[in-house]
């Protein structure tokens, strides 16, 4: 892509990203997480979006996972497409700050970076990426790594 004047498509893009921190144990960098969602949206086919991000604890994400997906365990991130038409996307990304803190310790990086990974992962799901097959999962990992790098982060080695 050329660096210069924005294209007409870029001029008319509008991405609203809100964040609600529904837990009080772990710090959350709302601006950084919102910027990550916008970075993913900028590379998508959508010209407008309204995305909400919720940062919750394990008990809350466990209940959401059970209620909406039928999985009776906490998870790291959930994403829900609420509306998708005419170049517009509405969706939600829910991440567990508690899971992020535990996983970050195992991965050898900060809980803030793990939260960033979860938001990127959930945003990629919203724009159509999937990770059900090994091939899709590998492609998604590559995309996550690219967006982490755009945000100035090198992912720890697996």
Range of the domain at 115: 14-150
Q: Is residue 7 part of a domain?
A: no
Q: Is residue 5 part of a domain?
A: no
Q: Is residue 1 part of a domain?
A: no
pLDDT at residue 4 in the model: 44
DSSP label of 61 = H
pLDDT at residue 98 in the model: 97
Residue 139 is part of a domain; what is its CATH number? 3.40.390.30
* Residue 5, pLDDT above cutoff 50: no
Quick: pLDDT tens for 80-117.
999 999 999 999 999 999 999 999 999 999 999 999 99
Phi, psi for 18 (deg, rounded to 5) = -110, 155
Record the tokens describing residue 65, joined without a space: 């996972």
Overall domain count for the chain: 1
Q: Is residue 74 part of a domain?
A: yes
Bridge partner residues of 77 (DSSP): 95
- CA distance between the termini of the chain: 31
DSSP label of 12 = T
Q: Is residue 4 part of a domain?
A: no
pLDDT at residue 102 in the model: 96
Type and span of the H or E element at 111: helix 111-126
pLDDT at residue 41 in the model: 97
Q: Is residue 25 part of a domain?
A: yes
Quick: pLDDT tens for 18-76.
999 999 999 999 999 999 999 999 999 999 999 999 999 999 999 999 999 999 999 99
Q: Is residue 157 part of a domain?
A: no
Instruction: Between 2 and 7, name the one with better pLDDT.
Output: 7
């Amino acid at each position: 892509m050329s660096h210069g004047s924005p294209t007409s498509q870029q001029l008319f893009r509008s991405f609203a990203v809100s964040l609600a921190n529904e837990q009080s144990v772990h710090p959350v960098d709302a601006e950084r997480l919102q910027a990550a969602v916008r970075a993913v949206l900028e590379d998508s086919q959508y010209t407008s979006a309204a995305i909400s991000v919720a940062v919750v604890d394990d008990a809350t994400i466990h209940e959401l996972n059970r209620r909406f997906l039928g999985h009776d365990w906490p998870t790291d991130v959930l994403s829900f497409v609420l509306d998708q038409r005419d170049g517009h996307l509405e969706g939600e990304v829910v991440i567990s700050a508690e899971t992020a803190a535990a996983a970050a310790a195992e991965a050898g990086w900060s809980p803030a970076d793990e939260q960033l990974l979860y938001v990127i992962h959930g945003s990629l799901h919203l724009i159509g990426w999937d990770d059900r097959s090994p091939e899709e999962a590998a492609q998604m990992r590559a995309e996550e790594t690219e967006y982490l790098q755009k945000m100035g982060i090198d992912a720890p080695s697996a």
